[in-house]
Structure formats: C-alpha cells, structure tokens
Amino acid sequence: MKTQSMYKIWLLTIVSFFLSACSVFETTATQIDRGVDEALTIFAEDIDGSEIFLDQSAGYLVFPRALRAGLGVGAETGEGVLRIGGKTVDYFRITSGSLGLQAGAQARSIVICFMSENALNDFRKSSGWRVGVDGSVALIDVGAGKTIDSQNVRDPVVGFIFNSSGLMANLTLEGTRFTRISR
C-alpha cells in the first residue's frame, strides 16, 4: 500500500514538473505565429479538403505543437492562436490531465474550427473553455493523404489532430481546457 502511494506521488510530481517546465520555456508571439503557419501548411498538404473547413469557419484555433506524456497519470500542454478571417486575434494555452491506463509521449498538431458564429462567440466569452463541459468537439480522425468531406460534417465545432510523432494510444480532446494567454 505504501509503495502505491509513493508511486502516485512520484507520478504527480513528474506531471507537475512537465506542466511547469512548459510554462518556463514560453514562446513569443512571433514564434507561435510561425509555428501556426507551418502547421497550417502541413494540414493543407496532408489532408485533402482541409481548406474548406478553414474557409467556412467563423474562426479556428491552431496549436502547432501540443505535447502529451503519461505513465498512469498524463498531461498535455501547448500554445497556439485563434484566427478569425485568417488573422491572429488571441493566443491560447491548451492543458489537460488524465488518470488511467496510459503510457508514452507524443507531440501533435491540433486545429479546431468553429463552424458557426454562436460556437465561436461562446468560446470567446468563456474564461477557460473546456471540451465536454462548455462545448463538444467533433473529432475528425484523419491521416496523411486522407480526404475529408465537409458535406458530412455538420457539427458546430470540429477538431483535427494530425502531424503526430511519438506513441500514445488515445485520440481525444475530452477534458481539455483552452485558456487565453497574453503575448
């Protein structure tokens, strides 16, 4: 029993360090914007039809590099932008934590499209929007070279995870929190 408690404390310490280390190495607005531009280029090259979602959305979030790691206890963090009309209007941090059967580490890119003004406005007026609490995201599972059909997707918020490196078996955004940051 004592070993199990020490294991949990050790894992929580590692996750806390991981999250705090990410905030120590904060990136500048220019670095984030450059990463977003690169991620959007990869998104357009790897996924046919992706530009339709960007063009038809009221606005979209882009996280060029979200880092996930876990061993029983997991965490994810990254910085990105909200773009409206193709222009950056706000900067955001993504954070999530999880407990359960998991092991590994992964870096991935995330794009979340707000397909209606109402969905975008609800997101913008929140102080820390949470997936599954403040709104749901229809996650589109796409890989390199796949095509998406915007006619079949009618959800107000649509998310894409792509450009993954590393190994972690869990494709979800459930419980993820988006918080506005200043840059």
Q: What are the distances in angstroms from CA 84 to CA 45, 78, 89?
A: 21, 20, 7
What is the mean pLDDT of the segment spanning 84-96? Answer: 94
With residues binned 3-state (H G I as helix, E B as strand, rest as coil), the percentages for the chain, rounded to 5, are 30, 45, 25
Segment 65-81, tens digit of pLDDT: 998 887 777 788 999 99
Q: pLDDT higher for 175 or 93?
A: 93
This model's pTM is above 0.85 = no
pLDDT, tens digit (0-9, with 9 covering 90-100), for 109-124 = 999 999 999 999 999 9
Ramachandran angles phi, psi of 124, nearest 5°: -65, -30
**C-alpha–C-alpha distance, residues 63 and 48, integer Å:** 19
pLDDT on residue 24: 43
Give the start-to-end residue ranges of the domains of the chain: 2-181
Give the separation between CA 49 and CA 149, rounded to whole angstroms: 7
Question: CB of 91 within 8 A of CB of 81?
Answer: yes
Give SS3 for 107.
strand
Buried b / exposed e along 63-86 (16+ C-beta atoms within 10 A): bbbbbbbbebbbbbbbbbbbbeee
Q: 80, 61 in Cβ contact below 8 A?
A: yes
Q: Tell me if 64 sits within 8 A of 39, measured CB to CB.
A: yes
d(CA 97, CA 78): 13
Helix (H) or strand (E) holding 177: strand 177-181
More confident residue, 23 or 104: 104
